[in-house]
Amino acid sequence: MGEVNEPILQVKHLRKQFGNNEVLMDIDFDTYPSDVVCIIGASGSGKSTLLRCINLLETPTQGVILFHGENILKGTKPSEYRAKVGMVFQSFNLFHNMTVLKNCMVGMEKVLKKDKAYAEENALKYLKKVGMAQYINAKPAQLSGGQQQRVAIARALAMEPEILLFDEPTSALDPQMVGEVLEVMRDLAHDGLTMIIVTHEMAFAHDVASRVVFMDKGVIAEEGTPQEVIENPKNERTREFLSRFHNQGGGNF
């Protein structure tokens, strides 16, 4: 974080409607280099939709998304923008017809037009980083969920994106696998990677986030440092949401 500079990504007055159902209402937020933004909130509050809008997997109904000051909803091809903004999905979404290594190489070869040797070297570098280099010959179906998610992270990292988006990366995992994935993400935060993470892992958000955004019914109800939002929530809805975690014993911070 350190020095204050230009935001990489700015979301302004973002709205998203599915039919009559207004999922996002007037969302505003900025992301600066090396920010780790954790978006928390109840199911149906619009967290995932917000993330999918940022990556253009959903088309916003209204509003602008600025990437380095340029509105990505107009003009530029979405594929160029998407190559710079990585995404990690809840259900991993690895390509089942490719080996682990090929999963990490295909984006570099086809989208960034890198040669094979470079792609292989870079893929290995990031697979090593997530501790999956041993498994380059495996097919996704042969790996555990935690292993698959780590490969998915390596696949996104290999594109060397400016921002990495995580959509509930541990929600589909058995409890014992959650740790290995969070460990990798903690590592990335430490390296200074800019990340926007939709998560239910309050302890992780508390330890790693530079900023926590609490969403409720399509609006940002509260945002601030982890200390502000998680330890001393001001908003009634935030308190109520967090209390459920305390009661379930889900949080320990």
- The values of phi and psi at residue 11, to 5°, are -110, 125
- Whose Cβ is closer to another protein: residue 172's or residue 219's? 172
Identify the residue whose tokens are 């470079």.
118
Yes or no: say if 217 and 45 are a contact pair by the CB < 8 Å rule. yes
Q: CB of 134: closest distance to another protein in angstroms?
A: 5
Taking CB under 8 A as the criterion, the residue among 70, 95, 186, 234 binding another protein is 95
20 contacts another protein (rule: CB under 8 A): no
- The values of phi and psi at residue 63, to 5°, are 105, 180
1: closest CA among 23, 31, 39?
A: 31
Taking CB under 8 A as the criterion, the residue among 6, 68, 111, 244 binding another protein is 111
Scanning 68-76, 102-110, 175-183, 232-240 for contacts with another protein by CB under 8 A, the matching segment is 102-110
Under DSSP, is residue 25 helix (H, G, I), strand (E, B) or coil?
A: strand
93 contacts another protein (rule: CB under 8 A): yes
Q: How many residues does the chain have?
A: 253
Give the rounded distance of the alpha carbon of 11 from its chain centre: 15
91 contacts another protein (rule: CB under 8 A): yes
Q: CB of 137: closest distance to another protein in angstroms?
A: 4
Q: CB of 228: closest distance to another protein in angstroms?
A: 31
Taking CB under 8 A as the criterion, the residue among 48, 55, 148, 194 binding another protein is 55
Burial of 72 (0-12, 13-18, 19+ CB in 10 A): buried
Half-sphere exposure of 94 (CA within 13 A, CB side): 28
- Whose Cβ is closer to another protein: residue 148's or residue 238's? 148
Give the rounded distance of the alpha carbon of 181 from its chain centre: 13
- For binding to another protein (CB under 8 A), which residues are involved? 55, 57, 59, 78-83, 85-87, 89, 91-97, 99, 106-107, 110-112, 120-121, 124, 128, 133-139, 142, 152, 155-156, 159
